[in-house]
Amino acid sequence: MKLLLKAGRVIDPSQNIDALMDIAIQDAKIVQIGPNLSEGQTNGRKGPSSKTKTIDLTGRVVVPGLIDMHTHLREPGFEYKETIETGSLAAAAGGFTSIACMPNTQPVNDNRSITEFIKRKAALAGRVHVYPIAAITIESAGRSLTDFRDLQDAGAIGFSDDGKSVLNSALMRRALEYASSIDMPVICHCEDPQLSAGGSMNEGFVSTELGLAPIPAMAEDVMTARDIIIAEYTRTAVHIAHVSTAGSVEFIRSAKKRGVKVTAETAPHYFTLTDDSLRDFNTFYKVNPPLRTKEDLEAVKEGLRDGTVDVIASDHAPHAVTDKDVEFEFAASGMIGLETSLALSLKLVDDGILTLPQLIQKMSFNPAKILKIPKGTLQVGVDADVTVIDREKIWTVDCHQFRSRSRNSPFHGRRMKGKAVMTIMGGEITYDESQNNA
Amino acid sequence: MANQKVVMDADGIDRSLTRIAYEIIEKNKGVESLILVGIRTGGVFLAQRLREKILKIEGVEIPMGILDITLYRDDVLKTQKKPLLGKTDMPSSLDNKKVILVDDVLFTGRTIRAAMDALIDFGRPKLIQLSVLVDRGHRELPIRADFVGKNLPSSLWEAVTVHLTEKTGRDEVVIEESV
Amino acid sequence: MKLTQKDLLGIKDLSVEEINLILDTAESFIEVSTREIKKVPTLRGKTVINLFLEASTRTRTSFEIAGKRLSADTINISSSTSSIVKGETLIDTAKNLEAMNPDIIVIRHSAAGAPHILAKTVKQSVINAGDGAHEHPTQALLDLMTIRSKKGQIAGLQVAICGDIAHSRVARSNIYALTKMGASVTVAGPATMMPRYIEQMGVKACCKLEDAIVDADIIMMLRIQLERQTEHIFPSLREYSTYFGLNRKNITLAKDDVLIMHPGPVNRGIELAPDIADAPFSIILDQVTNGVAVRMALLYLLTGGN
């Protein structure tokens, strides 16, 4: 099977490419990239190739397959919220060819068998590369480290106790040191649970008005600062997940200036929504870290613009109706994002915060680099993971059309501009908008 | 406004009230145990006037109550929009009192039905009599007035309005075609 | 004149005209409660469900009496939120109640926003009888009514609200209510009980009781919730009552004709010295009396129509 992607605007930050080009794919690999490729000349093979499928991508943007380094697939344990299969379908529909999934399943992904189970299920679904992130501590309980090397061997690509911080600073130090020695990233959910105890929204004027128990921005900031301090001291790398506060952005910015090996991600809702959205107690806006203020939102955007924030990840967190259709303080935190992440992020380009290549870098090359996976590039010889984007497509989010098993998106009904219209993973088309609408 | 007709002027109203005051005293053989109860809002002013006239005639100041019948109306819950509630002020229990209920216009009888229900909640009157300035007919309940200022045959599409100085600055009863 | 919304969820949503309508209507209802037969037939055949998912005696009784004096059938459901959480969801409870065709549902809940869920779920009118630390609109309305009847008007008055502002729905509803009606409000409490950006609600905030009550026309003392001590928001009861309790001495800072209010139940000897609670300038029991009238007014105004 050969594929020839013709005449798209190819953007590949890893090779500094932003030009009208063709891409030739054969045997699941990219075999050629350049202007005006013809069907016959793919990789020097001679003769007419009747099996080559040519796709005209005039007017489309062609980028390295997008990577979402922060998702929750809920399987095993919470299959009523999402499964690896439904999550994979959602990822492909959102333009992603690789996703990393967090370990807060039931049981927690803290051992080889869970990691292997996830890999196996993902391969069966076959829609997206799924990279399991294993827990830092057993049951993510913060007491003792998991078997890092065994998990690495089983296919885990990083460690995180996502959903909480490793509170014991000495243990966190050991985790960073040990992970660093085997060249594995550690991803930190930064939250001081005593400062955030009982809270369900950002502490600010809105929480004062609504009387909802507040989570101060500093609950995130003190842990961001601590993790940076530990990384700096131990000269290890640390990745800060879902940055939502102006304070965290600033801590990361100054640490980077000092040469600390800190990287950071944010999620689309933190540069799109503020705590003002909570005024009618709609639990779809309940997320952790909580939606912050306009000032935080602007700081996150500035962090993206100046490179402090390296990655945009969805923090796709599926929850069933029963988890959300309850009193605000009892509702589960989280919103789904795989199928809205790209369009919300493209708004940054429309608003002049990022150039399109910068955005693509934050959604492909940068996460690949942090996770140390051979992805996020269109170089000849790599897996043919490609995302095709229609920059101009106007569409309205309809949560009932989602591939995800859950519907907890606050963006239902929102008009969006720009969409992934084709996703290709390993040379296979995993999502095709035209088929979808046919 | 074109079809407006004055059917009672200030003098006419005053003469009617004077006659009613005499009739009340005559029918009740004096003013013993009498209490005037005016129905908000028009009936209240008429009750006050009757009280003054009775004072002039008999030299006795008889007690007076004010009744807001809104809470007893049979149509009060038909709409979300509610009539503005007025205060009820009953000077004493109505046990064994002769109650003269006073209203401006007697029409369907529903207001009087509501008023009688309300009165019963203030005790067990010896009797209730009804005094109105205008009886325009069209009763929907078996109710009749004991004292009537003027019987005014009217059609259903006409509106009868009692203007009183205390309320609108002039004394006049007007009939007009309602749109 | 009518209320524009089907529900009463908070003072924040009310216009000054609507507040005045409720207060004027409530004034007229005062008289009904003084009759020998304390009952009018207005809501005959109507059903009011008091869904109280958080402990309450005063407010629930007040709503029940209000409903009964209007001839409504009142049904009380009392349960702790925790048992509801374990079993049926609030939405299921709401749908079940709706299926029984009540006319009004009154809800008290420990979670902010719970009445809003109910109001979105059912077609009936919903009255918020207190939701978490969010709002307690009927309390604020009865407070306005009490102040208006004692002082003649609300505009221009200096009102001090003192205590645990952060956790108080009474404070929030009263801040909305009093500022809408033109009073100037000062809130006072230890910094640990003061929510951030409270001044943006149009009030002055201070951390000394004395500063708040200087020249006050009205002092509203809030109930200190003893169980909050575990959250470290005050060091000890002794310290709190010494520095944030109202007593014979510090009350002299207020205007000579100052009136003392409290939403109840009072912790005698903690936020209020016992002789202050019983003093002639304490109008705490007037608040309770007016509470019935305000709730009658709301049941009356919200029932009926389509």
Closest CA to C143 of C264, C3, C242: C264
Same domain, residue pair A405 and A329: no
B41 interaction partners in chain C (CB closer than 8 Å): none
- CA A97 to CA A430: how far, in whole Å? 8
Asked whether at least 3 C-beta pairs link A and B within 8 Å, the reply is no
Inter-chain touch A328–C12, beta carbons under 8 Å: no
Q: How far apart are CA A430 and CA A88, in angstroms?
A: 10
- For helices A112-125 and A84-93, the axis angle rounded to 10 degrees is 50
DSSP state of A176: H
Residue A189 is assigned to a structural domain of this protein: yes
pLDDT digits (tens, 9 = 90+) for C239-248: 999 999 999 9
**Residue B170 domain-assigned?**
no
Q: Report the residue of chain C nearest A202, measured CA to CA.
A: C196
C40 in reach of chain B (CB within 8 A): yes
- CATH number of the domain to which A139 belongs: 3.20.20.140
Contacting residues of A for C90, CB less than 8 Å apart: 326-327
CB A87, CB A73: distance < 8 Å? yes
- Mention every residue, 6+ apart, whose C-beta is less than 8 A from residue C17: C1
Beta bridge partners of B98: B34, B127
A116 in the same domain as A16: no
- Peptide bond preceding C57 in cis form (omega within 30 of 0): no
Distance CA B96, CA A33 (A): 108
B171 domain-assigned: no
Q: What is the DSSP letter of A61?
A: E
Give the minimum alpha-carbon distance from C158 to chain B in angstroms, rounded to a whole number. 30
Residues A356 and A384 sit within 8 Å (Cβ to Cβ): no
Beta bridge partners of B67: B39
Q: Indicate if A398 and A311 belong to the same structural domain.
A: no
CA distance C199 to chain B (A): 36
Q: What is the pLDDT of residues B65-108, one digit of tens each?
A: 999 999 999 888 887 778 888 999 999 899 999 999 999 999 99
Q: How many CB pairs under 8 A join A and C?
A: 65
Choosing from A322, A351, A371, the residue where a domain stops is A371
Spans in chain C with pLDDT lower than 50: 306
**ipTM associated with this complex:** 0.94
Q: What is the CATH number of the domain that holds A50?
A: 2.30.40.10
A211/C117 CB distance under 8 A: no
Tokens of residue A245, six digits: 């506060």
Helix (H, G, I), strand (E, B), or coil: what is residue C200? helix
Return the structure tokens found at A238.
């640390």
- The distance of A329 to chain C (nearest Cα, Å) reads 6
Candidate list A12, A275, A310, A315, residue with the active-site label: A315
- Structure token digits, residue C24: 């004027």
Both A199 and A293 in one domain: the answer is: yes
Residue C301 touches chain B, beta carbons under 8 Å: yes
Instruction: Identify the residue among C11, C85, C116, C135 best suited for mutation to test binding to A, counting A beta carbons within 10 A and taking the highest.
Output: C116
- Contact at 8 Å (CB) between C3 and C21? yes
| Structure token pair of residue B152 | 């005014």
For CA atoms B14, B18, B19, B21, the dihedral sign is: positive
Which residue range forms the structural domain that includes residue A48?
2-62+382-432
Inspect the interface and report whether the beta carbons of C35 and B121 lie closer than 8 Å: yes
Contact status of C41 with chain B (Cβ, < 8 Å) = yes
Burial grade of B142 (CB within 10 A; 0-12, 13-18, 19 or more): exposed
A341 with A389, same domain? no
A179 occurs within a structural domain: yes
Q: What is the DSSP string of A126-176?
A: -SSEEEEEEPSBGGG-SSSB--HHHHHHHT--EEE-TTS----HHHHHHHH
Give pLDDT, residue A121: 97
Instruction: Say if B114 falls within a structural domain.
Output: yes
Examine the domain organization and report whether A57 and A182 are in the same domain. Answer: no
Residues of chain C neighbouring B89 (CB-CB closer than 8 A) = 31
To which residue do tokens 């569409």 refer? Answer: A395
Whether residues C116 and A281 touch (CB distance < 8 A) is answered with yes
Q: Specify if A390 maps to a domain.
A: yes
First to last CA, chain A: 24
- Would you say the C-alpha torsion A222, A225, A228, A234 has a positive or negative sign? negative
Closest CA to C209 of C195, C222, C198, C200: C222
DSSP code, position A74? -
pLDDT at B178: 78
CA–CA separation, C145 and C19 (whole Å): 10
B113 CB near a chain C CB, below 8 Å?
Answer: no
Q: Which of A344, A371, A398 is the last residue of a domain?
A: A371
Give the whole-angstrom CA distance, residue B39 versus residue B31.
20
Considering only CB atoms, which chain B residues are within 8 Å of C3?
A: 80
Nearest to A290 by CA among A225, A390, A217: A217
Strand pairing partners for A262? A238
Query: Is A133 in the same domain as A206?
Result: yes
| One domain for residues A168 and A24 | no
The answer on A81 and A58 residing in a single domain is: no
CB contact under 8 A, A208 and C196: yes
Chains that touch A (3 or more CB pairs under 8 A): C
Those residues with Cβ within 8 angstroms of residue A340's Cβ, 6 or more apart along the chain or in another chain:
A94, A268, A314, A397, A409, A411, A416
Contact C91 A322 (CB under 8 A): no
CB contact under 8 Å between C24 and B84, yes or no, is yes
> Do A43 and A80 reside in the same domain of the chain?
no
Is residue A377 one of the residues assigned to a domain? Answer: no
Instruction: Give A381-405 as a DSSP string.
Output: TSB--EEEEEEEEEEE--GGG-SSS
Q: Decide if A281 and C117 are in contact by the 8 Å CB cutoff.
A: yes
Contact residues for A50 (Cβ-Cβ < 8 A; gap 6+): none
Q: Do C113 and A327 touch (CB under 8 A)?
A: yes
Distance from C-alpha of A66 to C-alpha of A377, rounded to nearest angstrom: 10
Query: In this complex, is the C-beta atom of C17 within 8 Å of any C-beta atom belonging to chain B?
Result: no
Distance CA(A227)–CA(A188), nearest Å, equals: 8
DSSP states of A244-266 as a string?
A: --HHHHHHHHHHHHHT--EEEEE
- Given CB atoms, is B127 within the 8 Å cutoff of chain C? no
**B-chain residues within 8 Å CB-CB of C303?**
77
CB contact under 8 A, C305 and B81: yes
Type of residue numbered C157: L
Q: Is residue A438 part of a domain?
A: no
B75 at interface of C, judged by CB pairs closer than 8 A: no
Does the annotation mark A315 as catalytic?
Answer: yes
CA distance A88 to A66: 13
Number of domains chain A contains:
2
Q: Are residues A293 and A406 in the same domain?
A: no
CA distance A179 to A158: 8
* Residue in C111, C117, C198 closest to A208 by CB: C198
CB count within 10 Å of CB A167 equals: 17
Query: Which sign, positive or negative, has the C-alpha torsion C112, C114, C120, C125?
Result: negative
Prior bond of A76 cis (ω within 30°): yes
How many contiguous H segments (helices) and E segments (strands) does chain A have? Answer: 13, 18
Report residue A218: phi and psi, to 5°.
-70, -20
Taking only Cα atoms into account, the Rg of chain A, rounded to an integer number of angstroms, comes to 21
Any chain B CB within 8 A of the CB of C145? no
Report chain C residues whose CB lies below 8 A from the CB of B82: 1-2, 25, 300-301, 304
Query: Around Cβ B179, how many Cβ atoms within 10 Å?
Result: 5
Q: Does B122 touch chain C (CB under 8 A)?
A: yes
Q: Is C42 in Cβ contact with B77 (below 8 Å)?
A: yes
Residues of B in contact with C32 (CB under 8 A): 71, 88
Report how far apart, in Å, the C-alpha atoms of A186 and of each of A136, A183, B39, C152 are.
Answer: 8, 10, 81, 66
Determine the residue among C134, C164, C228 to mutate to test chain A binding: the one whose Cβ has the most chain A Cβ atoms within 10 Å: C134
Q: Which residues of A touch C (CB under 8 A)?
A: 203-205, 207-214, 280-281, 322, 325-330
Contact state of B121 with C28 under an 8 Å Cβ cutoff: no
Burial status of residue C275 (CB atoms within 10 A of its CB: 0-12, 13-18, 19 or more): exposed
Quick check: C222 and C271 in contact, CB under 8 A? Answer: yes
CATH number at residue B38: 3.40.50.2020
What residues of B are in contact with residue C27 (Cβ under 8 Å)? 87
Boundaries of domain holding B65? 16-24+32-155
Instruction: State the angle between helix axes of C16-30 and C137-151 in degrees (0 to 180), rounded to the nearest 10.
Output: 70
On whether the pTM is more than 0.90, the answer is: yes
Residues 6+ apart with CB under 8 A from A400: A407
* B78 in C contact zone (CB under 8 Å): yes
Q: Give the mean model confidence (pLDDT) for residues B119-148.
A: 96
Residue type, C39: K
Query: Could you tell me which residues are beta bridge partners of residue C246?
Result: C272
Touch between chain A and chain C: 3 or more Cβ pairs under 8 Å:
yes
The list of chain A residues with pLDDT below 50 reads: 46-48, 438
Token pair 């932003």 is at which residue?
Answer: A18
> How many of the other CB atoms lie within 10 Å of CB of A153?
12
CA distance C53 to chain A (A): 12
| β-strands C204-206, C184-188 pairing | parallel
Of chain B, the percentage scoring pLDDT greater than 90 comes to: 85
User: Looking at A320, A346, A371, which one is the last position of a domain?
Assistant: A371
Inter-chain contact C41–B84, Cβ cutoff 8 Å?
no
**Nearest-neighbour CA in chain C from A22: distance (Å):** 53
Give the pLDDT score at C85. Answer: 55
Gap from C46 CA to chain B (nearest CA, Å) = 10
Number of domains into which chain B is organized = 1
For B34, B51, B68, the CA distances from B65, given in Å and listed in that order, are 11, 11, 10
A399/A263 same-domain check: no
Query: One-letter amino acid identity for C290?
Result: N
Q: Outline where A307-350 has alpha helix (H).
A: 321-324, 341-350
Residues of C with CB under 8 A from a CB of A: 12, 85, 89-91, 109, 111-114, 116-117, 131-135, 166-167, 169, 172, 195-198, 200-201
Residue A148 covered by a domain: yes
pLDDT digits (tens, 9 = 90+) for A41-82: 555 554 445 578 999 999 999 999 999 999 999 999 999 999
